[in-house]
Amino acid sequence: MRLYKKYPNRRLYDTENSCYVTIDNIRESILKGESISVTENSTGNDVTRSVLLQILTEQEEAGHEPVLTNRAIEQIIRFYGDRFGHYVSSYIEHSMLMFLKHQDQYREQMKQMATFNPVNAMKQMMDLWNP
């Protein structure tokens, strides 16, 4: 887990590399598969979620296709304060993990299809018929 500190002047500090970073640097760390934690230096409060939401917002402002539709965000907002709200968080996280698992399987199948040679497959089949 990569740890960052956020200072009152809104600067972000990477505690592992002992240097100031930008929100884009943090996004790059996430894209590489790292988990992050961001705390306010003055209070010690965890502000990771607000930094992650800022990254999402900036990606959409940069023209990337939104992952969450307005309707989905509205539905999520409605779950705050609802007695089933805590289930939604677990459900979304579990669904995302399952999606990623299936995405990896799909990519592996596509890679296998890309290297598939029908001529070699036909030769192998013919060899099975002619002992």
Would you say residue 32 lies in a domain?
Answer: yes
Would you say residue 72 lies in a domain?
Answer: no
Question: pLDDT (tens digit, 9 = 90+) per residue, 12-63?
Answer: 999 999 999 999 999 999 999 999 999 999 999 999 999 999 999 999 999 9
Report the domain count for the chain.
1
pLDDT at 131: 63
Would you say residue 78 lies in a domain?
Answer: no
Question: 11-47 burial, b for 16+ CB within 10 Å, e for fewer?
Answer: ebbbeeeeeebeeeebbebeeeeeebebbeeeeeeeb
Total-model pTM: 0.76
Residue 130 has pLDDT above 80, yes or no: no
Would you say residue 20 lies in a domain?
Answer: yes
pLDDT at 82: 87
pLDDT at 123: 82
Distance CA 98, CA 54 (A): 25
Ramachandran region of residue 11, left (φ > 0), alpha (ψ -120 to 50) or beta? beta
What's the domain range around 9? 2-67
Query: 18: which residues sit within 8 A by CB, 6+ positions away?
Result: none
Question: pLDDT (tens digit, 9 = 90+) per residue, 77-90?
Answer: 999 988 888 899 99
Would you say residue 31 lies in a domain?
Answer: yes
Would you say residue 101 lies in a domain?
Answer: no
Would you say residue 13 lies in a domain?
Answer: yes
Would you say residue 97 lies in a domain?
Answer: no
Report the sign of the C-alpha dihedral through residues 71, 99, 63, 10, in that order: positive
